[in-house]
Structure 1
């Protein structure tokens, strides 16, 4: 088995070398008259940032694998080099850095042509990079960049004996709502070791679409147990979530720093607020992102109300976004917001308010200092 794993690693290395052959020779055409290995690498990092990120993450993944083997008294298997060393040992890179190649480069070099080629190629690559960034941002748009309070609970629950395929998919969906070292490491481990095809592919596609290095492991050989081929659609409703909240499930273990009470029309504002609060280390609850697997607008019912009440109970505090969409004077524009505010008051929890109307209306909330444009929310009481 170790020999097979090493051969697969070497095979992937060769494929990466081949994939980078054309990009590297394109870069060689825009190098200045004099260049060295560091300059070549800097051009590659600038013009092919995702390819460089793949190299960096791949090296780290296999270094961690060797570290794990060593900690268990076994021989290291991959001996993965540093990203820089990996780059410098690519055959095309060694060729471009050879004296003979540099000599030919100087013989054909024309500064004016080089400058024009560089600008054209840089613009072309910039468009490609923007497209890739747009794809990644689209996939990660609703993910919170913070470590959730309950991440360890989810990991333990995943490995509990008797957990179903549906249960594992639910945990993957919950972990996929956050971007932090623990969740990324979790997806890598599932992609490596999980024997159920659907679950393993879910982890792989999450990593890939998030812009991370990932290699899809093929189906395990040998006789397949029924568990390995089980699938689930995971087509959930508010009723399903309420049922989970009434039992001792992972949904009961969740905790949030802030419950965001808002108008759906302020979706972009909500994203900005969550991003600001994540940087403060706060996990936020927003119904259409935090519970999007269960709460569907086409299935709104009394069960939805029960879910929102429970999520407020699981939150330390509520933050009301007061805008023209959510409130007119002292009148709340949405029965959902009114429900959330009243339930929070019933629980005796603090209600904080980001006031974007600033119309001097007196309300029984704690108005906080904020500057959304400059990405700042302070929990200090706003001066009257």
Structure 2
């Protein structure tokens, strides 16, 4: 194992043990009169939930790396212990698990003091946990919690040697729209190995948004895996500093759709036609469909960087049309807002012309947690001039 990689792994493990050591100190007064290892872990999970999750993520990351290495070397390198076993290495855990301490705690236990300590610690921890909850909820709002069918292709495109830094920026932008195990593990890998500063920082910030507590690796510790002097010089001194700023407008997205592989491989189970005024209910619907492993196209999640309503142009409509072509079916979220929406009328007409399935769900049904999709049977929206009408209507509003 290269020295730098070994030091990073060992540093991670030391940090975990140190963190748990401090946390267990705060939990000692909360222990029941008689307790087991399970009781200690349950307290950690309750009062320090995201800290525990961060350790589970680190274990998954290093375990996945070991599985990959074993394919080629036949021997694991990291051998990180599962969190439930790693905790046995913590000094404070060893102390409170010793027979002497167990006996001492049992003889000096006070139910009233224990309950008082629980209340006190929870009052300290609850605001922090809620703050993290809100942070993660905000990040989740911008993503779909599902693994898209094209995820392996996207990652494969990124990892090709001839993929430019510019194209990798676009691929990362697409990956960041999903919150799933494969994306999380891939971003951990980039945070650990990506030579380009811009790309590594993007991975770091994604993980940080979801409170995975990543460690940002410094440039001087990045390893260049090649013996070719010219390529080594390029990777270390040129590629590492390359930076590309995406042009966030509909024309740029239209160009990418027509010319780039990361856009052409996309596919969606449903295109959501809705009013932006119903975004809360739409988000609930998306989460429900995600739980059923359905990948959804929703413009303010999937193309929010490009499709700005105030940047309306023909490219905007062509992008929406392409997304509908990439979708197997459409769901119309019916409400007073969507029935009067020129955009919904446009989307319904175009999808009707594609002769693909159109489903409908009432906004009130979503509010009542009834997510049953029904085949549309009222074609009130049909309009032969819908494209021209949309552009005329929108130009009056935005000009």
Correspondence for 1:225: 237
Counterpart CA distance in 2 for 1:245 and 1:3 is: 43
Structure 2, gaps ≥5 residues long: 225-232, 378-399
Aligned to 2:315: 303
Contact 2:361 2:373 (8 Å CA) reproduced = no
| Equivalent residues of 1:260, 1:286 under 8 A apart | yes
In the TM superposition, 1:29-178 aligns within 5 A as 29-106=29-106, 108-178=108-178
Contact 1:241–1:307 (CA under 8 A) maintained in structure 2: yes
Report the equivalent of 1:374.
369
Distance in 2 (alpha carbons) for counterparts of 1:325 and 1:381: 18
Confirm or deny: 8 A CA contact 1:257 1:316 kept in the other structure.
yes
CA contact (8 A) 1:188 1:203 kept: yes
Q: TM-score, normalised by structure 2?
A: 0.84
Paired residue for 1:236? Answer: 248
Check the 8 A contact 1:37/1:88 in 2, yes or no: no
Aligned in 2, Cα 1:281/1:33: closer, same or farther, shift over 3 Å?
A: closer
CA deviations on 1:289-347 (whole Å, 9 max, x unpaired) are 110121123322222111111111111122111101111xxxxx222222212212222
What do residues 130-155 of structure 1 show as CA deviations (whole Å, max 9, x unaligned)?
21111111111121122213222212
Whether the 8 Å contact between 1:237 and 1:299 is mirrored in structure 2 is yes
Question: For the residues of structure 2 that align with 1:230 and 1:23, how far apart are their CA atoms?
Answer: 41
Q: Distance in 2 between matches of 1:214 and 1:140?
A: 18
Aligned residues: 366
Q: How does 1:272-311 map to 2 (within 5 A)?
A: 272-311=284-323
Match of 1:337 among 344, 354, 362: 344
User: Which residue among 232, 237, 261 is the counterpart of 1:249?
Assistant: 261
Pair 1:183–1:98, CA change in 2 (3 A): same
Sort the Cα spacing of 1:153 and 1:63 in 2 relative to 1 into closer, same or farther, 3 A: closer
Alpha-carbon distance in 2 for matches of 1:76, 1:347: 52
- The yes-or-no answer on 1:346 pairing with 2:364 is no
Moved over 4 A (4+): 379-382
Contact 2:29-2:114 within 8 A present in 1 as well: yes
Question: How much has 1:372 moved relative to structure 2?
Answer: 4.8
CA distance in structure 2 between the partners assigned to 1:130 and 1:185 by the alignment: 25
Name the SS for the 1:326 alignment partner.
helix
Structure 1 residue 106: Cα displacement: 4.4
Partner of 1:25: 25
RMSD between aligned residues: 2.4
Q: With structure 1 as the length reference, what TM-score do the two structures score? A: 0.87
Q: Give unpaired runs (5+ residues) of structure 1.
A: 328-332, 358-369
State the shift of 1:107 in Å: 5.5
Residues 58 and 156 of structure 1, relative CA distance in 2, 3 Å threshold: closer
